[in-house]
């Protein structure tokens, strides 16, 4: 280190004199010291004030320039040296060197800039101001097709530099995307797929850029899907495949790219991985099975890619996914059920699947997860059943297959996601009067619904419980169902639902309440009173923002309530006539007609 101090002193003098031979000797000595102990040497360099001199040595025509850039690259490996490099004014001369024709100068300059940018806001900012990124992208473009080892090394360094420059920085990544880096990197990957280091660098760069929404369109306009699938097929090592997966997952969120990946044959690769790893208990294999099956499900989220793989229910992929459901592997059961839920996104597919026995497979799967079951599998299987129940022709078939009985086994679940899907599935199934009546008289179910109507921490569960309560009344039109709901304390929730911010829910509540008033007013009277229904209806009618159908159904309900003495009195006390008479001139004809009828009723009964 004493020798190093002498070198630094000597370097100060020779840097001014510019005697190239002795300068080169000093630089060699520094590089040697850095190779032996980078951190300590870097500290000495910083303490000596020599960094400022380096700026004057970074000149294109000097034979020592590459070595100076190499020294800067080495010292900038230390975090504490990056800001001093910026403060010493090294960025601007380094960026100017990017126009050099000397390959070694370019290589060391790329390394120096890349290391200064690594995790350093100041470094990135200085390179940004000096315009370094555009020059590097231009180099990548012009050198892209040359495959000799020295050029590939330079390309790898430049890719690394851009990555360090933009990593986890959305605005700099967006800048690179606007400069057109994506098509260039995709082309690089295609030409240099034999070069492991360069390929890896491209993949990491893709992984960073693919997280940005604005990148997806650019990626979709390249042949990235084809290149990644081609590369994927060659990989044997788990780590390499994992790197490709990390790029595929964010890219596959884009529907156009989903379709490209399907057309490029990714699905066949994923199915093969599942087949290879399904029985393994190695940690890496389990992780890869999960990644492959998750990606498979993601590809099915695109309408076109999903339909292409469904192939009218005859497709090999659909059949293979179907075979995952009875598997003993939880991850495959989950992916299989989620895949069916994704296939069940249009009526044609749903009808075909129900006709071909998918419901029984899903019910068997649910049966295996009733006691201490896997919550994610329960949730996925219920999602699939809910989607399958949407087409009208499927409802009766699913009811006779025993779906409601299978679903009701999960009433005791304490997991909100499972509760939410259970409620949604039942609500989809009860369009038929008989089914609604049967369920509406199920005291355990109704009591659980009333309990969930108070689940304030889980808005979805609360909303679905209210909607199911209302649906049981609307579809059954049954006095027994209404009595069960009154006895279980459900009336107050239906009244609250009439004040929901969602018009559809308000409407469903008002129609259910009107049926209660028409069929079983005496039983519900006290509960309607204590829930302040009349005051709420007055507010809905007086509020100009209320939708026409809300005003219409509120007036229908007012008329139905007149059969109760106590509620009738509340209506009279609140001067409903004023509000209703104004609605006679409402622009909506149905509202105006109902206002006239309601006004007559109020006048007769007053």
**Arithmetic mean of pLDDT, 224-243:** 92
> Given a cut of 80, is residue 15 above it in pLDDT?
no
Per the CB < 8 A criterion, the answer to whether 332 and 293 are in contact is: yes
- The answer to whether residue 553 is domain-embedded is yes
Q: Is 181 helix (H, G, I), strand (E, B) or coil?
A: helix
Is residue 227 packed enough to be buried (19+ CB in 10 Å), middle (13-18) or exposed (0-12)?
Answer: buried
**How far is 280 from 585, CA to CA, in rounded Å?**
74
Across the chain, mean pLDDT equals 93
Residue 58: which region, alpha, beta or left (left: phi > 0; alpha: psi -120 to 50)? beta
Helix/strand/coil for 57 = helix
Q: Please choose, from the candidates 78, 98, 6, 87, the residue with its C-alpha nearest in 3D space to the C-alpha of residue 54.
A: 87
Domain annotation covers residue 589: yes
Q: Would you say residue 421 has pLDDT above 90?
A: yes
Place of tokens 């299989």: 336
pTM of the predicted protein model: 0.84
Q: Kindly state the average pLDDT of the residues 103-130.
A: 97
Q: Cβ(123)–Cβ(173) under 8 Å? A: no
Look at the alpha carbons of 353, 354, 355, 361 in this order and tell me if their dihedral is positive or negative. positive
* Residue 346, number of CB atoms within 10 A of its CB: 15
**Domain boundaries, position 546:** 532-605
206 located within any domain = no
Q: Collect contacts of 228-232 with beta carbons under 8 A, ≥24 apart.
A: 228/189, 228/261, 228/264, 228/266, 229/261, 229/264, 229/265, 229/266, 229/269, 230/193, 230/264, 231/189, 231/193, 231/199, 232/266, 232/269
Q: What is the pLDDT of residues 24-53, one digit of tens each?
A: 889 999 999 999 999 999 999 999 888 988
pLDDT per position as a tens digit, 139-154: 999 999 999 999 999 9
Indicate whether 2 pLDDT > 60. no
pLDDT of 566 higher than 90: yes
Nearest to 465 by CA among 441, 431, 490: 490
- Asked if the structure places residue 539 within a domain, the reply is yes
CA nearest 220: which of 170, 265, 186?
186
**Mean pLDDT of the region 327-349:** 95
User: For tokens 């293979």, what's the residue?
Assistant: 320
In-domain check, residue 453: no
Look at residue 152 and tell me if it is in a domain.
Answer: no
Percent of the chain with pLDDT over 90: 87
Q: Which residues lie below 8 Å from residue 189, measured CB to CB, with a gap of 6+?
A: 199, 202, 203, 224, 227, 228, 231
SS3 of residue 83 by DSSP: helix
Cα gap 253→249, rounded to integer Å: 7
**Does residue 33 contact residue 48 with C-beta atoms inside 8 Å?**
no
Identify the weakest region by mean pLDDT among 65-69, 266-270, 313-317, 512-516.
Answer: 313-317
CA distances from 397 to 360, 367, 429, 490 (A): 11, 19, 10, 30
Provide mean pLDDT across the span 500-526: 96
Say which DSSP state 120 is in: -
pLDDT of residue 235: 87
What integer pLDDT is reported at residue 256 of this predicted model?
95
What is the model's pLDDT at position 17?
Answer: 65
Residues in the chain: 606
The residues near 593 (Cβ < 8 Å, ≥ 6 apart) are none
Q: What 3-state class would DSSP assign to 281?
A: coil
**Total count of domains within the chain:** 1
Residue 560 lies in a domain: yes
The mean pLDDT of 238-242, rounded to a whole number, is 89
With cut-offs at 50, 70 and 90, classify the pLDDT of residue 527. Answer: very high
The answer to whether residue 72 sits within a structural domain is: no
């Amino acid at each position: 280190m004493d020798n190093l101090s002498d070198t630094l002193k000597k370097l100060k003098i020779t840097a001014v004199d510019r005697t190239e031979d002795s300068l080169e000797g000093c630089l060699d000595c520094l590089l040697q010291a850095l190779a032996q102990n980078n951190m300590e040497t870097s500290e000495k360099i910083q303490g000596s004030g020599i960094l400022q001199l380096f700026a004057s040595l970074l000149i294109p025509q000097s034979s020592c320039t590459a070595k100076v850039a190499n020294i800067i690259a080495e010292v900038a490996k230390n975090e504490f040296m990056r800001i001093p490099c910026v403060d010493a004014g090294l960025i601007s001369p380094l960026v100017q060197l990017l126009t050099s024709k000397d390959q070694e100068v370019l290589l060391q300059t790329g390394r120096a800039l890349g290391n200064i940018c690594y995790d350093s806001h100041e470094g990135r900012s200085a390179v940004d101001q000096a315009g370094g990124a555009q020059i590097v992208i231009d180099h990548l473009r012009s050198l892209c097709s040359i495959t000799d080892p020295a050029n590939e090394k330079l390309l790898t360094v430049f890719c690394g530099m851009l990555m360090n420059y933009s990593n986890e920085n959305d605005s700099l990544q967006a800048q690179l995307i606007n400069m057109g880096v994506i098509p260039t990197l995709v082309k690089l990957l295609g030409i240099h797929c034999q070069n492991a280091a360069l390929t890896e660098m491209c993949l990491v760069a893709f992984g960073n850029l693919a997280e940005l929404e604005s990148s997806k369109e650019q990626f979709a306009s390249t042949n990235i899907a084809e290149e990644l699938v081609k590369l994927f097929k060659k990989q044997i090592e788990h780590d390499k495949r994992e790197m490709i997966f990390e790029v595929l997952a964010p890219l596959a969120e884009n529907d156009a790219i989903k379709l490209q990946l399907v057309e490029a044959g990714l699905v066949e690769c994923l199915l093969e991985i599942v087949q290879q790893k399904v029985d393994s208990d190695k940690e890496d294999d389990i992780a890869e099975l999960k990644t492959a099956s998750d990606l498979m499900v993601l590809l099915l989220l695109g309408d076109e890619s999903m339909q292409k793989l469904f192939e009218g229910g005859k497709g090999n992929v659909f059949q293979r996914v179907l075979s995952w459901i009875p598997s003993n592997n939880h991850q495959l059961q989950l992916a299989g059920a989620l895949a069916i839920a994704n296939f069940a996104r249009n009526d044609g597919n749903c009808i075909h699947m129900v006709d071909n026995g998918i419901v029984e497979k899903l019910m068997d799967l649910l049966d295996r997860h009733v006691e201490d079951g896997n919550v994610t599998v329960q949730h996925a299987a219920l999602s699939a059943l809910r989607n399958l129940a949407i087409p009208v022709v499927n409802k009766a078939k699913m009811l006779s297959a025993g779906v409601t009985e299978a679903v009701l086994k999960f009433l005791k679940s304490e997991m909100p996601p499972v509760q939410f899907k259970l409620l949604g599935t039942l609500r989809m199934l009860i369009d038929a009067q008989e089914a609604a009546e049967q369920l509406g008289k199920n005291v355990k179910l109704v009591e659980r619904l009333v309990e969930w109507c108070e689940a304030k921490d889980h808005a979805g569960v609360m909303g679905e419980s209210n909607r199911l309560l209302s649906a049981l009344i609307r579809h059954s039109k049954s006095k027994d169902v209404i009595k069960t709901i009154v006895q279980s304390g459900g009336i107050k929730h239906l009244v609250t639902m009439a004040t929901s911010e969602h018009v559809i829910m308000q409407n469903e509540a008002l129609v259910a309440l009107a049926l209660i008033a028409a069929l079983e007013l005496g039983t519900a009277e006290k509960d309607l009173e204590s829930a302040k229904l009349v005051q709420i209806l007055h507010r809905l009618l007086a509020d100009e923002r209320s939708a026409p159908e809300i005003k219409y159904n509120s007036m229908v309900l007012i008329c139905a309530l007149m059969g109760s003495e106590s509620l009738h009195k509340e209506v009279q006390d609140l001067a409903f006539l004023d509000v209703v008479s104004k609605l006679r001139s409402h622009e909506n004809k149905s509202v105006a007609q109902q206002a006239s009828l309601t006004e007559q009723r109020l006048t007769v009964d007053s």
